[in-house]
Amino acid sequence: MTLVASVDKEKSHAEGSKAPFSRDHHKIAHSNFSARPVPHTHTSMEQALDKSLKAAQARFTGGLSPIALAAAYSDWALHLSSAPGKQLELVEKAIKQATRLASFTTLCAQNPDTDETCITPLPQDRRFKGESWQKWPFNVMSQAFLLNQQWWHSATTGVEGVTEQHENVVEFSARQILDIFSPSNYPLTNPEVLAQTYRQGGMNLVRGWQNFIEDASRMNAGKKPVGAEAFEVGRNLATAKGKVVYRNHLIELIQYAPTTDKVRPEPMLIVPAWIMKYYILDLSEHNSLVQYLTAQGFTVFMISWKNPDAEDRDLGMEDYLSLGVMDAVEAVETITKQQKIHAVGYCLGGTLLSIAAAAMAREKDDRLKTITLLAAQVDFTEAGELTLFINDSQLAYLENMMWDKGYLDTKQMSGAFQLLRSNDLIWSRVIHDYLMGERTEMIDLMAWNADATRMPYRMHSEYLRRLFLNNDLAEGRYQVSDRPIVISDIRAPVFMVGTERDHVAPWQSVYKFNLLSDTDVTFVLTSGGHNAGIVSEPGHPHRHYRIRTKTKDESYTDPERWAKETEMTEGSWWPALAEWLAENSGEPIKPPRMGAKAKGYAPLCDAPGTYVFQE
């Protein structure tokens, strides 16, 4: 018995497109998200007034709830005010650090060339790495800032009685405020900027001002960053040859042309995240995972998600599951005439694929031969700093903001992600582009990152509440077709990839799949971040990874011990994935045809399709 009971394929090929897809068509038995706290479709005049007011506020707060922030600071301040021991500890730390800084300043005055320090920056903090920062008076400035930063970390953490999330919010926001006043951000206290200004007679500041005006003008006009025009989808991005063989209201399904004489019998379906355009996995010709896999003899299909607008406000997780994954699975099976599929999910697409796989496994639907999850989480208890923005107060505020438009805007999403890595994504750009007067060279990954998508009101609310806030999937409460699903029902072997510097899906959180699964799991930990670690083609310099397989009968190994005991391998992890897929595939056969016109899957247009161009 398959999860999809029946399909009524009413397709129109007029002007190369299919008829609008009915939302009641091809549902997984109309998945019941019982008791889901979805915002009301019908609102009273009083409720509409509240929602409109909060939506207006959100435009000035960047989507952050002032009430949630005030609650966190009140929790911290009240508990700190009633903890004289903690206060005394902070006073002692302040005196010790002031003494250390005074001693260091005296040493520098006596020996300006000293290489002594009184505090070392964290490994990921590269602001003061330059040689000029080690000379007086800039070494004193940087050391004073780092000591101040350390003291505030002590002040905002370890206060007994403060809830963990409130502590994290206060520590995070204090760090953001302190970063504003870093000496590296100002021309008179940054020796590298001063040297550049002296060499160029101030022209770097002139260029920097011009860069700032240009960036501000582009942002206000809704244009992409400078240099992004050099990258064009279909020309030097998303260039893998293929055809759109299926289209509904939510997805276009791309079938890629074979590049080998024979292919593995099992086709591959890739489910990308819908928060960005799909072509992160078909970036440029040299770093396209799609082109790499077709070259290894696999038949590859990819979902391209629609960029939703206000009319799609009521699309929910059930729609993404049925119109997305399940429609694509059926199309792939029909076109290739194969009952077994290699499924790959990236980021949110991996979470959705996990939901689909668990639901299929519950119904004894064994069409997924293997599952590959790339930087994807199923347990959200340690989902990184994104959880700072996830509580009832913040989500209610976010829902009101989305209610106003019917979707989450791309600017609101990108702003939240930039805050998580403000030193790398905000202040480093201020220094490089505006103070040094230089332009960061645009690359394909940056151009893709600027091509964001919106997210429907209902889906995003359901996703954040049911997965991030309530952790329903990991705890067995996530319902599909009126019944809960569990990850432990999945029996297909799983290949998982986490990245070392992932701020969106920390690898330790990705690794938690091992706690929930009852199947063989091959886990890979690779260098890089959430995106760059996945786009890690063979030949990419400075790449390494660790890999180990845990069978379902083996005992659990915690992530820290796993990383310590697993040997590091230099290079890209892509060949390891191709080898694993080959081991789980049949002998090569003749490639399938593009589409299946007789069965309602006639090719509609060339890849990359039409949905990818929606602004």
Q: What is the dihedral of CA 59, 63, 67, 70, to 10 degrees?
A: -110
Amino acid at 615: E
Provide the b/e sequence for 565-599 (b: ≥16 CB within 10 Å).
Answer: ebeebebbbbebbbebbeebbeeeeebbebbbeee
Residue 33: other Cβ atoms inside 10 A? 19
Q: Show the tokens assigned to 224.
A: 């992409």
Residues 6+ apart with CB under 8 A from 120: none
Whose structure tokens read 């940087």?
Answer: 142
401 with 58: CB under 8 angstroms?
yes
Could you give the 3-state DSSP secondary structure of residue 19? coil
Amino acid at 178: L
SS3 assignment for 426-441: HHHHHHHHHHCCCCCC
CA–CA distance, 20 with 275 (Å, rounded to integer) = 23
Q: Show the tokens assigned to 506.
A: 């920390």
Q: Give the DSSP letter string of 145-208.
A: HHHHHHHHHHHHS--TT--HHHHHHHHHHHHHHHHHT-GGGSTTT-HHHHHHHHHHTTHHHHHH
CA–CA distance, 92 with 378 (Å, rounded to integer) = 43
CA–CA distance, 150 with 121 (Å, rounded to integer) = 10
Amino acid at 503: H
Residues 6+ apart with CB under 8 A from 412: 58, 62, 63, 401
383 with 351: CB under 8 angstroms?
no
Q: Where are the beta strands (DSSP E) in 314-393?
A: 341-346, 368-374
* Residue 347 is a catalytic residue: yes
Burial of 16 (0-12, 13-18, 19+ CB in 10 A): middle
Catalytic residue among 108, 118, 347, 605: 347
Q: What angle do CA 93, 95, 97 make, to 5 degrees?
A: 65
CA–CA distance, 433 with 437 (Å, rounded to integer) = 5
Q: What angle do CA 334, 336, 338 make, to 5 degrees?
A: 85
Residues labelled catalytic = 347
